Amino acid sequence: MLKKKDKYNVAIMGATGAVGGKFLSILEERNFPVKELRLLASERSKGKKLKFAGKKCPVEILTHRSFRGIDIVLSSAGAARSLEFLPSAVKTGAVSVDNSSAFRMDKDVPLVVPEVNPHEIEKHKGIIANPNCSTIQAVVALYPLHKKAKIKRIVASTYQSVSGAGQKNILELERQEEAINKVVDNWTIGSHTVDKFLVKEFPHQIAFNLIPQIDVFLDNAYTKEEMKLVHETRKIMGDEAIKITSTCIRVPVFFAHSESINIETEKKLTPEEARKILSKAPGVVLVDDPKKHKYPMPLNAEGKNEVFVGRIREDESIENGLNLWVVSDNLRKGAALNAIQIAELLIKHA
């Protein structure tokens, strides 16, 4: 349990990564009560310094002793590191909010989106899991509709930005686009294909392409990313009966994930009613005036905290169905912001 204090000692595990960078800026933006900040990463980051609150803070190498004196750990260094190191953080009495998939489906670990199931944090035993980026924005948009009309089935197709895969993948798209832009004749077939040595992180070229694979394939022919959306959504919404299927696509967008979501509800919900509910829902911004070309887009969601919802329309192929388009910044609400909101809840309840 977190003890009430004026200010807290905070450690960021994976501080040099894509999510780690957002932890730093959002802690500052929200005036999080930081007493001491400990930045942790791998040997590769030895000697690096990162800016926080006008000062340059040194990055330390993550070890089992990194958590001494720490109250709150914000973790984003991958599942293997979370599994190895967070038990040490728990032993020292710190509370960890973990961005990786390591503990999300553990029945003893709460999986929390503050707009949906904030009360779950009370059950923590030292670790609270932050859901996957694509799950967070989906449940922020869907939970208010579920409360009103009970969702029976969800069909979600995601269009996920490269930053969702980390810092190296952002650079990979940048380098591939640079290489293509150097080619004078971009209209000839093959002239927008990059040399193989520029394809390292993704399984295929991502620039000017879409890749229908995020994470590894499982025995059921779905990817791990697709099944995360299925299992995590049910756990967060507290309803194992919801039928969910998903397809996750990587797109050549730098920041913010987009999702086309179809829902079937038990009670009838008109698009107008859905708009009314979502216009008052916490963390949601309704952008839904298609005739004026107003709908959510990743470029507009980049750097913002909210989940943007639009293109709400009736699914005319079934009795109680709606289609929605949901966009949010994966590094903010999809990762760092959600974790910091959880930490703020912990402080509120300390």
**Residues at the site binding ligand NAP, with contacts judged by CB under 6 A:** 14-20, 41-42, 44-45, 62, 76-79, 81, 99-100, 132-133, 163-164, 166-168, 330-331, 334-335
Catalytic, out of 133, 146, 192, 248: 133
The end-to-end CA distance of the chain, in Å, is 7
Q: How far is the CB of 165 from ligand NAP (least distance, A)?
A: 7
* Residue closest to 168 by CA, chosen among 13, 44, 315: 44
Buried b / exposed e over 269-302, threshold 16 CB at 10 Å, is: bebebbeebbeebebbbbbbeeeeeebbbbebbb
Output 310 or 334, the one with its CB closest to ligand NAP.
334
Closest CA to 34 of 62, 74, 86: 74
Cβ proximity to ligand NAP: between 13 and 278 the closer is 13
Element (H, E) at 10: strand 8-13
**Size (the chain), residues:** 350
Q: What φ, ψ does residue 57 adopt, rounded to 5°?
A: -105, 135
Strands 307-314 and 321-328, how do they pair?
A: antiparallel
Q: Which is nearer to ligand NAP, 41 or 307 (CB)?
A: 41
What are the start-end ranges of the H helices in 238-336?
271-279, 298-301
Residue among 57 and 312 whose Cβ is closer to ligand NAP:
57
Task: Dig out the tokens for 152 from the structure.
Answer: 């029976």
Q: Least distance from C-beta 160 to ligand NAP, angstroms?
A: 8
Cβ at position 236, least distance to ligand NAP in Å: 14
Q: How far is the CB of 214 from ligand NAP (least distance, A)?
A: 11
Amino acid identity of residue 210, one-letter, is: L
Smallest gap from Cβ 293 to ligand NAP, in A, equals: 28
Residue 178 to residue 163: CA distance in whole angstroms: 17
Strands (E), 235-317: 243-250, 257-265, 284-286, 307-314
Which among 124, 146, 192, 257 is annotated as catalytic? 257
Closest residue to ligand NAP: CB criterion: 17
Annotated catalytic residue 133: yes
Residue with Cβ nearer ligand NAP (17 or 144): 17
The residues that bridge with 52 in the sheet, in sequence order, are: 55
Shortest Cβ distance from residue 98 to ligand NAP (Å)?
8
Give the list of residues 6+ apart from residue 263 with CB closer than 8 angstroms, or none.
142, 145, 151, 153, 154, 155, 321, 322, 324
Nearer to ligand NAP, 78 or 126 (CB): 78
Is-catalytic flag, 231? no
Residue with tokens 């890749």: 211
Q: Which residues have a catalytic role annotated? A: 133, 257
